[in-house]
Amino acid sequence: MLIETDINKLSETVHTWAVDVGWWDNKDRCPFETLQLFSTEVAEATEGERKQLMDDHLPNRPMGEVELADVVIRAVDMAGHYGWIYSATMRPRLMYYGEKTIGAMHLSLNKIIIQLADSFHYDGTESASMCSFGYSVLIEACYYIAFVQGYDIDGAIVEKIEYNRTRADHKRENRSQTGGKGF
């Protein structure tokens, strides 16, 4: 089995923490902006792979691995907010662009993110069943890429969550400052 973590339990834990520290203070948070942040994590993963970099925050891990973990962390948080439930689909292997290069796999992640965005209406309301399915495909695709790359994505998720709990730029009072983590 590719997914060892209980994704639905992880979603509950991550989202509860995110609410507690204020990431969801804006009840009208735009789902499209949130999904775009998934895409920025994919871009950072690609850059890490391209340059064979170790991560800045978890220097014992490759940047690609940590950024892929960040995609999962952001996804489970959003799932917790919207009530999406992960269920196995085994679909992501069919979504790649004919090659198993890291660039093709990362591009496929962005394709899945865009399909997930297409499950929302322009007013920000979502088709819950389509979003749950797209979210499940995204999670599986991240785990599949981690498997292909030989990454310990579960370990990276745990370490990154712990790291994020202590980050100054993740504190509510620092996010709204210039250069902060606000959108």
Q: pLDDT tens digits for 16-33? A: 999 998 889 887 888 999
Buried/exposed code over 99-116 (b: 16+ C-beta within 10 A; e: otherwise) = eeebeebbebbeebbeeb
Other CB atoms within a 10 A radius of the CB of residue 98 amount to 6
Residue 120 has a pLDDT of 86
Any domain includes 83 = yes
Residue 34 has a pLDDT of 92
Per the model's pLDDT, the better-predicted residue between 177 and 55 turns out to be 55
Model confidence over 62-94: pLDDT tens digits?
999 999 999 999 999 999 999 999 998 866 555
Any domain includes 183 = no
Residue 129 has a pLDDT of 81
Domain that includes residue 127, residue range = 7-22+30-165
Any domain includes 104 = yes
Any domain includes 65 = yes
> What is the chain's mean pLDDT, rounded?
87
Report DSSP state, residue 92: G
Any domain includes 100 = yes
Any domain includes 176 = no
Rg (CA), the chain: 16
Residue 1 has a pLDDT of 41
Report how many domains make up the chain.
Answer: 1
Query: Which residue, 24, 30, 6, is CA-closest to 81?
Result: 24
Report how far residue 26's alpha carbon sits from residue 48's, in angstroms, rounded to the nearest whole number. Answer: 31
Any domain includes 170 = no
The SS3 call for residue 53 is: coil
Any domain includes 2 = no
Model confidence over 140-169: pLDDT tens digits?
999 989 998 999 999 999 999 999 989 877
